[in-house]
Amino acid sequence: MSVLVNKDSKIIVQGFTGSEGTFHAEQMIEYGTNVVGGVTPGKGGQEHLGKPVFNTVEEAVEKVGADTTIIFVPPAFAADAIMEAADAGIKVIITITEGIPVADMVKAYDYIQSKDCRLIGPNCPGVITPEEAKVGIMPGFVFKKGGVGIVSKSGTLTYEASDQVVRQGLGISTAIGIGGDPIIGTTTKEALEMLVNDPETNCVVMIGEIGGQLEAEAAKWYKESGSEKPVVGFIAGETAPAGRTMGHAGAIVGGSDDTAQAKKKIMADCGIHVVDSPAEIGKKVKEVVS
Amino acid sequence: MNLHEYQGKEILASFGVRIQRGIVAHNAKEAVDAAKQLTQETGTGWHVIKAQVHAGGRGKGGGVKLAKNLKEVEELAGNIIGMNLVTPQTSAEGKKVHQVLVAEDVYYPGDSETSEFYVSVLLNRGTGRNMIMYSTEGGMDIEEVAEKTPHLIFTEEIDPATGLLPFQARKVAFNLGLSGTAFKEMVKFISALYKAYVESDSSMFEINPVLKTSDDKIMAVDAKVTIDDNALYRRKNYAEMRDLREENPIEVEAKAVGLNYVDLDGNVGCMVNGAGLAMATMDLIKMAGGEPANFLDVGGTADAKRVEEAFRIILKDPNVKAILINIFGGIVRCDRVAQGVVDAYKNMGDAIQVPIIVRLQGTNAELAKEIIDNSGLAVHSAVQFQEAADKVKEVLA
């Protein structure tokens, strides 16, 4: 099982022949990910990294049966790439690109609502199901196979969490980086729901940040679901001052309800095991699964 | 990117939004000339002198004054330009005023009473759609309105496929209690405002107050405009409006070398890769008894050059008593970063006078620790996150 991506996923890379796309596609293939080709408009018919290049996503779906895409297209064209993938019938659209104009994402987000697909990101590290598929830019070796799911807005903090979990002798089922932009395709709640419903996941680590309502929404869903699968939570940004954006466009404290303290309280009230120190995520997971 | 009131109003006016007119002045003499010109163009007798700084609450801090004659224009402009304006949104030292907007008086008496409204356009992150937020309670702090009288705040969400529809603009005008000429003016105002928002690639418009004049005109008396940084590449004319004097000089410098830096008040500087891990590191510093002096994301390529640049930037803050470097090496190898730290340290010679704690985890972490430990430099190394925190506590003690 696992969620979103596995060894049978047929993955294409949009922005395949660019420097980012090439570098990470190579790493993905080396990891053993089932990359079936890539898309770079105007370079169709060529071969790159031993895989076919197509002009359009539609062609990639027709010829190699692609069902998953990872997007490295530059910000000015990334929203268009998302819509193209959705239109072509791709089911899982993972967008790594950082810096997409918000107006473009408003349009793309609206466009994909009527399509049968799931968008992850943008501005995210991607998704990894250890030993099966790495569809992202994360260092594969940090993620050992196991039963702990991770949902996080942040890249390196996801690696940190995984590393701590692995050091406790446990492993990861699927880690989902949902991204730190104001508009993202998959929310914390949706990612948490997938992991809680995954039979191979026996515990979920939920890592959030200041700003927005995503974690509160996820926590409330968790409480209502009545699930007994333990969830460990951490919110970064306790020390971030109000009104300043902390790196991610979405990480800004607006009102009193999106501070780290307020979010942690809601999460704890909903039965999530909240840790105050980011150094204690792994320890807490070990504690709640044993 | 935030803009000054006068710049925001320029953008609004270019899309047909009616604004309170004004002319920018950099000294008292320019202010008098501006006032004369404005009287000629608009017939205004009185003038409003408004400090142009990136902060709300300017009126409360004494940055907005009414001048009833040219002598007062000269006096007030002279006083405001050069002052350090302290408002509820600035630091205790305030913000230096470099220019004022000399604006027409729009609260003149007439057939009907004037009234003030609040209108903003922004993204509803929950739905991924833009919305117009508006209230009859103009001229007040909207956070306060939201808290005390939430029923007086209305929202209108815009479908991206259709844009703002005429009935929505009418609804806004009705809900604000308008009729007759003022109603028609408000419909026009809202439509033009939304068009301006979309076509300028803005991420926020806040117009407070929107004024209904005594002769039933609707106009923007103030304008807080934020342009989406990600879209500046295609809005070059707006990108040129950036006023670097309004930004923290260290943050501007960091940005120029590609570092994401936010200046804070604490005593422990930090250098981290990734925004989430950077915030988590700041939290850990606090738990270890320190206070973070900054947020600094060095990004994906933490090589010697970047590390050195990051060092220089952190060390510009005289309050920094220790520096914590926390890098989770994934694609970036830790041994390279460690070498970068050692090289940067050596290059900078005596510039580094505070203890440095380096925590490198991920690819080749142990090798990195060896490099640091064998460098002979006064650098404390750690591998686990908790170890780093303990070291911070140690050096602060």
Identify from B229, B238, B277 which residue to disrupt to test chain A contact, counting A C-beta atoms within 10 A and taking the largest count: B277
**Interface residue B262 vs chain A (CB under 8 A):** yes
Catalytic residues of B: 118, 206
**Interface residue A283 vs chain B (CB under 8 A):** no
Chain A, nearest residue to B290 by Cα: A239
B128 contacts in A (CB within 8 Å)? 105-106, 109-110, 183
Hey, are the CB atoms on A101 and B277 less than 8 Å from each other?
A: no
> What is the C-alpha to C-alpha distance for residues A239 and B295, in angstroms, rounded to an integer?
10
**Interface residue A185 vs chain B (CB under 8 A):** no
Which option is the CATH number for A138-289: 1.10.12.10, 3.30.2130.10, 3.40.50.261, 3.40.47.10? 3.40.50.261
A213 contacts in B (CB within 8 Å)? 125-126
A138-289 matches A11-120 in CATH topology: yes
Which option is the CATH number for B21-105: 2.40.40.20, 3.30.1490.20, 1.10.8.80, 3.40.50.10860? 3.30.1490.20
Helix residue spans in B263-333 (DSSP H): 275-287, 304-315
Hey, are the CB atoms on B201 and A207 less than 8 Å from each other?
A: no
Nearest to B362 by CA among B326, B315, B324: B326
Hey, are the CB atoms on B230 and A100 less than 8 Å from each other?
A: yes
Question: In this structure, are strands B202-212 and B115-124 parallel, antiparallel, or unpaired?
Answer: antiparallel
Is the domain A11-120 a CATH 2.120.10.80 member?
A: no
> What is the C-alpha to C-alpha distance for residues A177 and A96, in angstroms, rounded to an integer?
10
Element (H, E) at B117: strand B115-124
**What are the tens digits of pLDDT across the range A29-50?**
999 999 999 999 999 999 999 9
Give the residue carrying structure tokens 């959705």.
A86
Hey, are the CB atoms on B283 and A159 less than 8 Å from each other?
A: no
**What are the tens digits of pLDDT across the range A84-114?**
999 999 999 999 999 999 999 999 999 999 9
Which option is the CATH number for B1-17+111-247: 3.50.50.60, 3.30.43.10, 3.30.470.20, 3.30.420.40? 3.30.470.20
**Interface residue A143 vs chain B (CB under 8 A):** no
Q: What is the mean pLDDT of chain A?
A: 95
**Fold held by B249-396:** Rossmann fold (3.40.50)
Helix residue spans in chain A (DSSP H): 19-31, 57-64, 75-87, 102-112, 155-167, 188-196, 214-225, 260-269, 281-289
Nearest by CB: B331 against A139, A154, A241: A139
Identify from B283, B287, B363 which residue to disrupt to test chain A contact, counting A C-beta atoms within 10 A and taking the largest count: B283
**What are the tens digits of pLDDT across the range A175-194?**
999 998 999 999 999 999 99
Map residue B340 onto helix, strand or coil.
helix
- pLDDT above 90 covers a percentage of chain A that reads 90
> What is the C-alpha to C-alpha distance for residues A30 and A12, in angstroms, rounded to an integer?
15
Q: Counting runs of H as helices and runs of E as strands, what totals does chain A give?
A: 9, 14
Hey, are the CB atoms on A76 and B160 less than 8 Å from each other?
A: no
Hey, are the CB atoms on B283 and A260 less than 8 Å from each other?
A: yes
What does each C-alpha distance from B252 to B233, B256, B313 come to in angstroms?
Answer: 18, 6, 10
Nearest by CB: B274 against A154, A276, A279: A154
A279 contacts in B (CB within 8 Å)? 284, 384-386, 389
- For residue A199, the model assigns a pLDDT of 96
- For chain A positions 223-282, those within 8 Å of chain B (CB to CB) are 234, 236-241, 243-251, 255, 260, 276-280
**Interface residue B142 vs chain A (CB under 8 A):** no
Structural domain boundaries of chain B?
1-17+111-247, 21-105, 249-396
Chain A, nearest residue to B280 by Cα: A236
Over residues A9-23, the mean pLDDT reads 96
Q: Name the burial class of residue B130, with classes exposed (0-12), middle (13-18) and buried (19+) by CB atoms within 10 angstroms of its CB.
A: buried
**Interface residue B160 vs chain A (CB under 8 A):** yes
> What is the C-alpha to C-alpha distance for residues A215 and A280, in angstroms, rounded to an integer?
19
CB atoms < 10 A from the CB of B308, how many?
A: 19
What does each C-alpha distance from A208 to A157, A192, A201, A217, B252 come to in angstroms?
Answer: 10, 12, 19, 12, 28
Nearest to A138 by CA among B362, B271, B385, B358: B362
**What are the tens digits of pLDDT across the range A103-152?**
999 999 999 999 999 999 999 999 999 999 999 999 999 999 999 999 99
Give the residue carrying structure tokens 């990051």.
B310
Find the radius of gyration of the CA atoms of chain B.
Answer: 26
A163 contacts in B (CB within 8 Å)? 328, 361-362
Hey, are the CB atoms on A159 and B328 less than 8 Å from each other?
A: yes
B272 contacts in A (CB within 8 Å)? 156
Over residues A68-92, the mean pLDDT reads 98
As annotated, the binding site of A includes 17-20, 43, 96-98, 159
The residues that bridge with A47 in the sheet, in sequence order, are A52
Q: Residue A251 pLDDT > 80, yes or no?
A: no
Structural domain boundaries of chain A?
11-120, 138-289
- For residue A1, the model assigns a pLDDT of 58
> What is the C-alpha to C-alpha distance for residues A265 and A111, in angstroms, rounded to an integer?
35
- For residue B301, the model assigns a pLDDT of 65
**Interface residue A82 vs chain B (CB under 8 A):** no
Where is pLDDT greater, at A247 or A161? A161
Nearest by CB: A106 against B129, B278, B291: B129
As annotated, the binding site of A for CoA includes 17-20, 43, 96-98
**Tens digits of pLDDT across chain B (397 residues):** 999 999 999 999 999 999 999 999 999 999 999 999 999 999 999 999 999 999 988 999 999 999 999 999 999 999 999 999 999 888 888 999 999 999 999 999 999 999 999 999 999 988 999 999 999 999 888 888 888 999 999 999 999 999 999 999 999 999 999 999 999 999 999 999 999 999 999 999 999 999 999 999 999 999 999 999 999 999 999 999 999 999 989 999 998 888 999 999 999 999 999 999 999 999 999 999 999 999 999 886 667 778 888 988 998 889 999 999 999 887 778 888 888 888 888 888 777 889 999 999 888 888 999 999 898 888 888 888 999 989 999 998 8
Task: Determine the Cα angle at B324 with ends B320 and B330, to 5°.
Answer: 145
Hey, are the CB atoms on B276 and A209 less than 8 Å from each other?
A: yes
Map residue B135 onto helix, strand or coil.
strand
Q: Are B155 and B122 in contact (CB under 8 A)?
A: no
